[in-house]
């Protein structure tokens, strides 16, 4: 793969920070090294001494004095080494990516920690997307992605999708505007990037089938596109076996995958990770060096100690418990939807995630209904327009999350929504 053709001028211009290189050199050196180089503050001046975090199972994640001094200090921009190693091993076990054994130039799999997958997404978009570029995605899509992409001045092209995700035949039709043999010409306007949320899509709850992923991947090969696989709901798939990921079929090194611990460990700790070809992950890390420097060392060490004590088996056992919770929530929302909304709306049962995408019958646009009337009835949902490429276009959908409210609250909310719809029809 020729990765340079995908980089924006800004990303290509990024250079390693000399100071960060010295810091990382020092961290790799024997303790006998005396460094007067780094501008790191002296941790003995920090007011925090130790910490002990009690886990639900009664165990403790501890920070003794030496570890606390490390936790409160700067660390490597790609993530603390032990967490990066643990996550790479997890990706290997879950996805067995073909590119893991490749040379760096050929797109060897690499990984960096980010402050939530949101940071990973925004830095990946800024690495790849120039003003005027054509970028493919299946709308409706995550509003945070639109917020990161649209200011870059690109042209977002929608690829039709349904409850099983992006439709390969529709992608083929969209791409038929360009000749695959001409995509490498400097004047070509062919898309170089395709973004999708393959599991438990936000807001649609849609999940791509393996067959569709394979067909989309082959089209990405034909037109030499990168695929951004934004997959924060991968661990919230209700049925096993979990669907193979784009990363697991990535023989070319053209997948950039963003994962998140927000839906399974904590959303406030802000731990995500970007997995992809080393030439591209390196560019994301250079951007991190020049922006946040790194994700909180304390947070990374807290999560790493937990993962180390769990092991992959324990991690997956925890996830089983999370899935069981959301599965019950989903059942509650679907039964309340059947009870209150059957004649008034349409929806598909999601196979993953935490969202129900509901089409209200007889209502052209939900924006006003939700933002004005719903508050009167004391029920809040997200009007579907915020997930569309053109948010001003009328949209008859609303997004309902079954993550926080109790089954009883969900039932009452849908009773209120049913009154709202009847009044508005
Ligand atoms: C498809 C997709 N990709 C990336 C992310 C970012 O997750 P991160 O790892 O935590 O950074 C998300 C998070 N989605 C949301 C977040 C959120 C935060 C506050 C309030 C509301 C929020 N709503 O509604 C959301 O959908 C997502 O759905």
Tens-digit pLDDT profile for residues 208-238: 999 999 999 999 999 999 999 999 999 999 9
Q: Residue 228: which residues within 8 A CB-CB, separation 6 or more?
A: 121, 124, 125, 193, 194, 195, 196, 256, 257, 258
Q: Which atom of ligand 1 is nearest to the CA of 117?
A: 9
Dist CA 287 CA 20 (whole Å): 12
% helix / strand / coil in the chain, to the nearest 5? Answer: 45, 15, 40
Does residue 347 carry a pLDDT above 90?
A: yes
**How much is the pLDDT for 88?**
98
Q: Which atom of ligand 1 is nearest to the CA of 141?
A: 1
Percent of the chain whose pLDDT exceeds 90: 91
**How much is the pLDDT for 420?**
94
Dist CA 316 CA 27 (whole Å): 32
Separation of CA 144 and ligand 1 centre (Å): 7
Name the token pair of 322: 């999370």
Does residue 21 carry a pLDDT above 80?
A: no
pLDDT in tens, 116-174: 999 999 999 999 999 999 999 999 999 999 999 999 999 999 999 999 999 999 999 99
Q: Which atom of ligand 1 is nearest to the CA of 115?
A: 11
**How much is the pLDDT for 375?**
84
Helices (H) and strands (E) in the chain, counts: 13, 15
Query: ipTM surpassing 0.90, yes or no?
Result: yes
Does residue 27 carry a pLDDT above 80?
A: no
What residues line ligand 1, using a CB cutoff of 6 Å? 116-118, 121, 142, 144, 197, 202, 230, 232, 260, 262, 267, 272
From residue 154, how far is each of 136, 179, 193, 406 by CA, in Å?
A: 10, 21, 11, 40
Dist CA 198 CA 307 (whole Å): 25
Separation of CA 413 and ligand 1 centre (Å): 22
**How much is the pLDDT for 304?**
98
Angle between helices 168-175 and 210-222 (to 10 degrees): 10
Asked which of 14-18, 353-357, 358-362 is least confident by mean pLDDT, the reply is 14-18
Ligand 1 pocket test, candidate residues 118, 124, 145, 149, most atoms within 8 A of CB: 118
Does residue 24 carry a pLDDT above 80?
A: no
Ligand 1 pocket test, candidate residues 115, 116, 117, most atoms within 8 A of CB: 117
Asked if 63 contacts 71 with a C-beta cutoff of 8 angstroms, the reply is yes
pLDDT in tens, 296-344: 999 999 999 999 999 999 999 999 999 999 999 999 999 999 999 999 9
Q: Which atom of ligand 1 is nearest to the CA of 382?
A: 24
């Amino acid at each position: 793969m020729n990765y340079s053709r995908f980089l924006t001028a800004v990303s290509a211009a990024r250079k390693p920070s000399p100071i960060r290189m010295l810091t990382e050199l020092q961290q790799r050196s024997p303790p006998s090294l005396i460094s007067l180089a780094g501008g790191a503050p002296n941790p003995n001046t920090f007011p925090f001494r130790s910490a002990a975090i009690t886990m639900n199972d009664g165990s403790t994640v501890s920070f003794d004095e030496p570890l606390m001094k490390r936790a409160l200090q700067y660390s490597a921009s790609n993530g603390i080494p032990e967490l990066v190693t643990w996550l790479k091993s997890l990706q290997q076990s879950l996805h067995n990516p073909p590119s893991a054994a490749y040379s760096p130039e050929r797109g060897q799999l690499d990984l960096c920690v980010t402050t939530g997958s949101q940071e990973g997404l925004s830095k990946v978009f800024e690495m790849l997307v120039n003003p005027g570029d054509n970028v493919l995605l299946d709308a409706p899509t995550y509003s945070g992605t639109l917020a990161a992409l649209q200011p870059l001045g690109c042209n977002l092209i929608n690829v039709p999708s349904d409850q099983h995700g992006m439709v390969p035949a529709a992608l083929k039709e969209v791409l038929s505007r360009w000749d695959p043999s001409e995509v490498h010409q400097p004047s070509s306007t062919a898309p170089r990037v395709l973004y999708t949320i393959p599991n438990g899509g936000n807001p649609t709850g849609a999940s791509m089938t393996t067959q569709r992923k394979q067909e989309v991947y082959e089209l990405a090969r034909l037109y030499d596109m990168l695929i951004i696989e934004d997959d924060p709901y991968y661990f919230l798939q209700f049925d096993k076996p979990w669907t193979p990921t784009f990363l697991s079929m990535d023989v070319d090194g053209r997948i950039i995958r963003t994962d998140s611990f927000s839906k399974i460990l904590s959303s406030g700790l802000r731990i995500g990770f970007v997995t992809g070809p080393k030439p591209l992950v390196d560019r994301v890390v250079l951007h991190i060096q020049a922006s946040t420097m790194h994700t909180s060392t304390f947070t990374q060490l807290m999560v790493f100690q937990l993962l180390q004590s769990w092991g992959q088996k324990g991690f997956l056992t925890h996830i089983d418990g999370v899935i069981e919770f959301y599965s019950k929530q989903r059942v509650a929302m679907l039964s309340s939807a059947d009870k209150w909304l059957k004649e008034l709306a349409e929806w598909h049962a999601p196979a993953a995630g935490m969202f129900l995408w509901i089409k209200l019958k007889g209502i052209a646009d939900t924006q006003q209904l939700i933002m004005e009337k719903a508050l009167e009835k004391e029920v809040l949902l997200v009007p579907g327009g915020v997930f569309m490429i053109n948010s001003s276009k009328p949209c008859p959908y609303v997004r309902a999350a079954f993550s926080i409210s109790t089954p009883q609250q969900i039932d009452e909310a849908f009773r209120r929504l049913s009154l709202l719809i009847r009044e508005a029809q």
